[in-house]
Every structure is written in structure tokens, then in C-alpha cells.
């Protein structure tokens, strides 16, 4: 995976370390890994948070890391219907490139995934890429 990248670059080292750690982790709530041919494009699967209408769901999405990662935040989009986030559209959360003023370089892919899971049961309130489907519709999508 690292053959075409400058392994001395601190950002590349960080991404490769996160990929290694997440591949060895056995988390129930999420999994994520970069594409084999592109360290900057990650795909993830998260489970809907327990005790919410999303609880039965598994959701697939994509994280695009900027070349300045971890000093700049990523783009995040969902690729499966969920009733909370629009499909194939960058979503606006405090851990995304819509809010670079909130981004902390200490955050990583794991932090991003946990934040996304935490945002699932919140109201979109007009945020870019956000949806406020009724709970019944969200539960139906989770079962599918």
C-alpha cells in the first residue's frame, strides 16, 4: 500500500499507522480502511447507535482525506440510505471540511467514525447533507 507514497512524509506515516491500527482492531460499531491504491480514500461501515431507530442498520460511507491530513479535516459522504444523511453528498459536521475551525489534528479516522455515529440520532436542522426523515422511515431503512 505504501509503495507509491513518500513514507517519510508525516501525513502518510499517520495515515498508514491509522490503517494498521484499524485493521487490527475488532470494534463492533465500525470498521474502516483505505483503498488499496489510494491511501486518501477510505471506506467505512458503521452500525446504527443502539436504542435509536438506526440500531438495526449498517451504513456504508466514504471518507476523503486531504493531502494536508491530519492538519485539515476530511470530506465524508454516505453511500447507503439511512434517513439522516443524504447519499453521495458531502455532509456538514464539526469533524468535516465544512468546519475546519473545529478540526483538531489529534483526531483521526476512529474519532471521525465515533462522531458520525453520535450524530446519527441528532436533528439535521438544515445542515448540508442532513436529512430529518421520520423515525418510522429511518427504522425501515435500518432493517433493509
Q: Indicate which residues carry an active-site annotation.
A: 92
Cβ atoms of residues 127 and 44 within 8 Å: no
At which residue does the C-alpha cell 465515533 appear?
114
Beta carbons of 109 and 32 less than 8 angstroms apart: yes
Which strands sit side by side in the sheet containing 30-35, from one edge to the other?
A: 30-35, 38-47, 58-64, 75-78
H helices present in the chain, as ranges: 10-24, 109-119, 135-143
Please state, in angstroms and rounded to a whole number, the distance separating the CA atoms of residues 71 and 85.
Answer: 25
Cell numbers at 54, concatenated: 438506526
Amino acid at each position: 500500500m505504501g509503495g507509491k507514497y513518500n513514507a517519510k512524509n508525516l501525513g502518510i506515516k499517520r495515515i498508514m499507522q491509522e490503517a494498521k491500527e484499524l485493521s487490527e482492531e475488532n470494534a463492533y460499531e465500525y470498521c474502516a480502511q483505505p483503498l488499496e491504491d489510494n491511501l486518501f480514500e477510505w471506506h467505512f461501515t458503521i452500525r446504527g447507535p443502539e436504542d435509536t431507530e438506526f440500531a438495526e442498520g449498517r451504513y456504508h460511507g466514504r471518507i476523503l482525506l486531504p493531502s494536508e491530513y491530519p492538519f485539515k479535516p476530511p470530506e465524508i459522504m454516505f453511500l447507503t440510505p439511512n434517513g439522516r444523511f443524504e447519499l453521495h453528498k458531502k455532509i456538514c459536521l464539526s469533524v468535516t471540511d465544512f468546519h475546519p475551525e473545529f478540526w483538531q489534528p489529534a483526531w483521526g479516522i476512529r474519532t471521525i467514525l465515533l462522531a458520525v455515529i453520535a450524530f446519527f440520532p441528532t436533528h439535521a436542522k438544515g445542515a448540508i447533507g442532513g436529512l430529518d426523515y421520520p423515525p418510522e422511515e429511518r427504522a425501515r431503512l435500518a432493517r433493509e
